[in-house]
Amino acid sequence: MRGTGGAGVAGATGATGATGAGVGGGGVNLLALRSHNAALVLDLLRTAGDEGISRLELAERTGLTPQAVSKITARLREDGLAAEAGRRASTGGKPRTVLRLVPEAGHAVGVHLDRDEVRVVLVDLRGAVVGERRAALDLGAGAEAVLGAVGETVAGVLPGGSAGGSGLRLGLGLEGDVRPGAAGFDADSLPGAAGLGGVSLPGPAGLDDGSGPGAAGFDGGSLPGPAGLGGVSLPGPAGLDPSLLGVGVALPGPLDHVRGVLHRVTGFPGWDGFPLREALAGRLGVPVVVDKDTNAAALGLAAGGEVGSFAYLHLGTGLGAGLVIGGSVHRGARTGAGEFGHQVIQLDGPPCTCGDRGCVEALCLAAVARGDLDEAARVLGAGAANLVGLLDIDVVLLGGRTVAAAPEAFTAGVGAVLEARSRRTGQDAVPVRVAPGGDGAVAVGAAQLVLGPVFGRGGG
């Protein structure tokens, strides 16, 4: 699968004659621009669905020349990513051939690593879930136990994946080998926010067959920027689906999305400084992207069609927010945005696991624990009202297992607080809805961390 990336050139246009400041400030990067154009075409094929789209329509929608579109679609068909979907009548001349995306040509794994369980989904190129598995887990059990559980669960969701013998043996590293460089993985070659490490996956389904530079289907080394691919080449992952593009991992923060390193995860400070991306990529032998659970869910919602600016509030074993501003996930300079649960709303209130007192999370979870869902919703609404006043967002979306267990109570309670705020301000009340996807939204969003660059969306 070549030339399908382009996350590092999110601001580029489809025109082939673009000028001006290029990627990295050194002029136009033609390889990256070509990859971006291919990503534009792929994304239109994806959104066209089974009905498909003609080459002429692709040229009109992207601004590319018909010749450029023909070259790109020929390469995508050669790589198994696109196929004919029939013919469509035209206003004159012969009927137009329409093309469609081949969803099964590539897959991504999304992992929701929660405090007490791990949930893994396998999605195709359209983001449809084609496999799912979950298992109990203790995030405080230590790195080796957690990595082993993640590896076992990932193996279980993949076709042909296995966990036999004396232990899990995915990739080329031995069981438990999480050293930098394990399984041939060069940790120093992982620039970029999305952290796709430039791993070249040989095999069918349109992936790089080893005949040229490749990075999980991208133009190796040609994509500097937020989702830069480092051009590392690995032998094929042993036993993994050769169409696997990578693994996205979402878990509670705080953490560093750019480097894939954990900070003092709330309630589990022992993870501070742990290089999760490096460790998992070394064990699994595929690119790994790490982000906060709420950011991943917000990214998945945006990719699924949620438009505008919104806040996704996740109430489960903790409380956090994923923020989408103007269509893009807002992570902040240090992946610190969205620590919604740790805004103090009661001075000298009950202690929180973060070390502060009177946090929204502490008050909300305490109310849930004693069965007072009305109070939990009221507290959540107070925090949501602060967020609405600060960011002027369009909608508040609620998710997480606690919300999923009593959706009406939380939408009504949070909505009542926002209605009261609107009466005070004279503005329309911001609507409150339960986010689609239920308690699987985080895992599905984690897979979008991998798929996003394929379709030119970057890592959010």
Q: How far apart are CA 240 and CA 327, in angstroms?
A: 34
Q: How far apart are CA 459 and CA 189, in angstroms?
A: 18
**φ and ψ at 138, to 5 degrees?**
-115, 110
Nearest CA to 219 among 459, 439, 454, 393? 454
Q: What is the DSSP letter of 105?
A: G
Output the CA–CA distances (angstroms, integers) from residue 449 to 254, 373, 454, in the order listed: 17, 33, 10
Q: Find how far residue 207's CA is from the centre of its chain.
A: 20
**Per-residue pLDDT at 266:** 87
Nearest CA to 379 among 405, 346, 337, 428? 346
Q: How far apart are CA 423 and CA 426, in angstroms?
A: 5
Q: Find how far residue 408's CA is from the centre of its chain.
A: 28
**Per-residue pLDDT at 240:** 57
**Exposure string (b/e) for 31-45, b if CB count within 10 Å is 16 or more?**
bbbbbbbbbbbbbbb
**Per-residue pLDDT at 189:** 32
Other residues' Cβ atoms within 10 Å of the Cβ of residue 411: 18
Q: How far apart are CA 111 and CA 189, in angstroms?
A: 23
Q: How far apart are CA 423 and CA 382, in angstroms?
A: 15
**Per-residue pLDDT at 329:** 95
What is the H or E stretch that residue 152 is in? helix 143-157
Those residues whose C-beta lies under 8 Å from the C-beta of residue 131, and which sit 6 or more positions away, are 121, 122, 157, 158, 159
**Per-residue pLDDT at 48:** 94
**398, 411 in Cβ contact below 8 A?**
yes
> pLDDT per position in the chain (460 positions), as tens?
443 333 332 333 333 333 223 223 333 345 565 688 999 999 999 999 999 999 999 999 999 999 999 999 999 999 999 999 988 876 667 888 999 999 999 999 999 999 999 999 999 999 999 999 999 999 999 999 999 999 999 999 998 753 332 223 233 222 333 323 333 333 333 333 333 333 333 333 333 333 333 333 333 333 223 333 333 233 334 345 678 999 999 999 999 999 999 999 988 999 999 999 999 999 999 999 999 999 999 999 999 999 999 999 999 999 999 999 999 999 999 888 999 999 999 999 999 999 999 999 999 999 999 999 999 999 999 999 999 999 999 999 999 999 999 999 999 999 999 999 999 999 999 999 999 998 899 999 999 999 999 998 866 5
Q: How far apart are CA 238 and CA 203, in angstroms?
A: 12
Cα-based angle 199, 201, 204 (whole degrees, multiple of 5): 160
